[in-house]
Amino acid sequence: MENTVILQSTITCPNCGSQKEETMPTDACQFFYKCTKCETILKPKPGDCCVFCSYGNVACPPIQINKSCCK
C-alpha cells in the first residue's frame, strides 16, 4: 500500500499557546502529551482518539489512512 502518511504534527498547547512539532507513532495513539513549556498534561477532547487529533495540525496516522482508530 502506498499511502502518504504525515508523521509530523505540530501540537498547539491550549493552555499557553506554544507550538511544538512532534513525531507521531504509527502503531498506537498517543493519549497524553506534556507541553514542553508549561508542563500541562494534554488529553484528547471528547470524541477524539489522541492528542494529535485534538491539538495537532495533522490527524494521527490511523485516521489519515482511514482506519478506525483505537477505541
Site residues for Zn ion per CB under 5 A: 13, 15-16, 35, 37-38, 40
Q: What is the dihedral of CA 45, 46, 52, 54, to 10 degrees?
A: -50
What's the min distance (Å) between Cβ of 38 and Zn ion?
3
7 or 37: CB nearest Zn ion = 37
What's the min distance (Å) between Cβ of 15 and Zn ion?
4
8 or 19: CB nearest Zn ion = 19
Cβ-contact 57, 10 below 8 angstroms: yes
Cβ-contact 55, 14 below 8 angstroms: yes
